[in-house]
Amino acid sequence: MMQPNDFEVTSPPSDGISGLEFSPVADYLAVSSWDNQIRIYEVQPNGSTTPKVAYSHEAPALCVTWSKDGTKVVSGGGDKAGRMMDINTGQSTQVAQHNDSIRCVKFLDQGQNILATGSWDKTIKYWDLRSPQPIGTAQLPERLYAMDTRSNLLVAGTADRHILLFDLNNPTTIYKQTISPLKWQTREISCFIDSKGYAIGSIEGRVAIQYIDDKDQARNFSFKCHRDGKEVYPVNTIAFHPTYGTFSTAGGDGTISFWDKDSKQRLKNFPKKTGPIPCSTFNRTGNIFAYAVSYDWTKGYKHATPNMPNKVFLHPVQDADIKPKQRR
């Protein structure tokens, strides 16, 4: 059976793409970019896209997230600021501040207005959007590179391979501190949909599946991916499917795979794209998979050539490709 073609998003960013996230209530896609912009697109049922609204940071935008009710988009950037766009009014305001670039932003499940921002200043700050000062600060051992949250779990990955777990009932205290089971720098962290664990991706083409409960430690494992002969590429992005809990990986080699952690098998491999894949995400129902093709900065600024693509694609997800296979 022929796969339907992926749809290219109209009017994409003009520089490297750093983050993608769908609204939790509608098919709106927010995109952060190294051109300092956050762009929001409406995705039509036929796969076409309409650019709706944009706002700016004063330096590269590094991450983007939606509020749980889909009325606000918050982003972080190299200008050390967290900025929020109110979808209903089109107004953008500064809502967070750090002493260095904000690398990750996430709304928490603990209320409509609670936000976590993680920074290279070695802190995670928690904000109630109704108040200008942070409501809490967690000190980290190193600069934050990756962060995700689900239910009461927040997992942060920093430089020097530190992995820090927070119980959001007590969000400023590290609940568990460990070193990544992967021997190289952490690139991505993504929580399971049941919040019982998380996946880590490293710059050295490996993924680790980690459970939190001590009784589940025997289920931890890691595997190699995004390699081509002797060439090893970073795992830039891991996204869990919202219904099935299966997941995607995509990397510097320009390939995407869908996986099932429970049966430890690859469900689907996609043909190679025209450049590295820096970020990806599923929509709320899991029937659209969005991914960017643009430079991922893993080889430094010298490789950031003007002819690199900056594109976002929407892949219509076939149930057969992402649903766990029946155990034989």
Summarised one tens digit per residue, pLDDT across range 247-296 is 999 999 999 999 999 999 999 999 999 999 999 999 999 999 999 999 76
Pairing of β 231-232 and β 235-240: unpaired
Mean pLDDT of the chain: 94
What is the pLDDT at residue 159?
98
Token pair listed for 55:
């706002």
Tokens 């769908």, residue located: 22
Nearest to 62 by CA among 16, 108, 99: 16
What is the pLDDT at residue 1?
38
Using the predicted structure, report yes or no on whether residue 143 has a pLDDT greater than 70: yes
Q: Which amino acid is at 148?
A: D
pTM: 0.96
Q: What is the DSSP letter of 142?
A: S
CA torsion, points 310, 6, 276, 34, in degrees to nearest 10? 30
Q: Which amino acid is at 193?
A: I
The predicted model gives 117-135 an average pLDDT of: 96
Using the predicted structure, report yes or no on whether residue 186 has a pLDDT greater than 80: yes
What is the pLDDT at residue 297?
64
Using the predicted structure, report yes or no on whether residue 298 has a pLDDT greater than 70: no
Domain ranges of the chain: 99-179
Nearest to 16 by CA among 250, 227, 300, 293: 293
Whether the CB-CB separation of 129 and 95 falls below 8 Å is answered with: yes
Summarised one tens digit per residue, pLDDT across range 77-100 is 999 999 999 999 999 999 999 999
**Beta bridge partners of residue 97, listed in sequence order:** 81
Token pair listed for 238:
């891991």
The fold for domain 99-179 equals Thrombin, subunit H (2.40.10)
Contacts 24+ apart (CB under 8 A), 97-100: 98/123, 98/125, 100/143
**Strands, E, within 241-303: which ranges?**
247-251, 256-260, 265-269, 280-282, 288-293
What's the rounded Cα separation, in Å, for the pair 59 and 102?
11
Token pair listed for 143:
């600069």
pLDDT-based confidence at residue 229 (cuts at 50, 70, 90)? confident
What is the pLDDT at residue 87?
92
The predicted model gives 71-79 an average pLDDT of: 98
Using the predicted structure, report yes or no on whether residue 124 has a pLDDT greater than 50: yes
What's the rounded Cα separation, in Å, for the pair 301 and 98?
25
Q: What percent of the chain has pLDDT over 90?
A: 89
